[in-house]
């Protein structure tokens, strides 16, 4: 009976390790360079510390969502010819890793077209009008139902996801 539980435990750990390895490969290699792929957002590169955000913007408000900390920036900055309502920046281990841009519904077409002009055709298009660009460094997703564009560091988000998966295996 003891040998059977050993095999079962070994199989489960091996399967979990294989899943983590496969996820890492898919997350880091599923992208290709798209035209003008950004290395960050605005004038902050991926991995920039929180102090850089606070230096750049006068009004930075901490929002908490469980263990995830988002920083709200009230800015009139309009990067893609659309009017943005607000920006949120996420940091993982004091490194910039994720940015959300929230915009008015009336700006959807303008922003989607601006993304296409800037970054080329998206790698994925969804039936609801959402689209995704997957580069080697940066991922971009426009979620039309939520009036939101997300930019993220593939490297830092992959590290974060792997750390979370390892916690789940314990």
| Domain residue ranges of the chain, discontinuous segments joined by + | 31-169
Instruction: Give pTM, 2 decimals.
Output: 0.73
Of the candidates 108, 170, 118, the residue with the CA atom closest to the CA atom of residue 142: 108
Confidence band for 120, pLDDT divided at 50, 70 and 90: very high
Query: What is the largest distance, in Å, between two alpha-carbon atoms of the chain?
Result: 67
Mean pLDDT of the chain: 77
Whether the per-residue pLDDT at 142 is higher than 90: the answer is: yes
What's the DSSP call for residue 31? -
Confidence band for 126, pLDDT divided at 50, 70 and 90: very high
Tell me, what's the pLDDT at 56?
A: 87
Tell me, what's the pLDDT at 19?
A: 45
Of the candidates 81, 85, 83, the residue with the CA atom closest to the CA atom of residue 73: 85
From residue 109, alpha-carbon distances to 42, 129, 134 in Å are 21, 10, 20
Portion of the chain with pLDDT greater than 90, in percent:
32
Portion of the chain with pLDDT greater than 70, in percent:
72
What's the DSSP call for residue 58? S
At 144, phi and psi to the nearest 5? -65, -30
For the chain, give percent helix, strand, coil, nearest 5.
40, 30, 30
């Amino acid at each position: 009976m003891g040998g059977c539980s050993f095999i079962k435990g070994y199989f489960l750990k091996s399967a979990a390790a294989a899943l983590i390895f496969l996820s890492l490969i898919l997350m880091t290699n599923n992208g290709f360079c798209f035209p003008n792929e950004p290395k960050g957002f605005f004038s902050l590169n991926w991995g920039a510390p929180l102090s850089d955000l606070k230096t750049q913007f006068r009004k930075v408000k901490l929002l908490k969502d469980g263990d995830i900390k988002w920083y709200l920036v009230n800015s009139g900055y309009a990067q893609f010819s659309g009017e943005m309502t607000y920006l949120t920046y996420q940091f993982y281990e004091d490194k910039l890793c994720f940015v959300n841009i929230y915009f008015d519904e009336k700006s959807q077409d303008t922003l989607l077209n601006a993304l296409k002009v800037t970054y080329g055709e998206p790698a994925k298009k969804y039936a609801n009008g959402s689209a995704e660009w997957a580069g080697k460094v940066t991922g971009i997703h426009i979620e039309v139902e939520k009036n939101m564009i997300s930019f993220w560091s593939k490297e830092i988000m992959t590290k974060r996801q792997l750390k979370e998966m390892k916690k789940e295996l314990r």
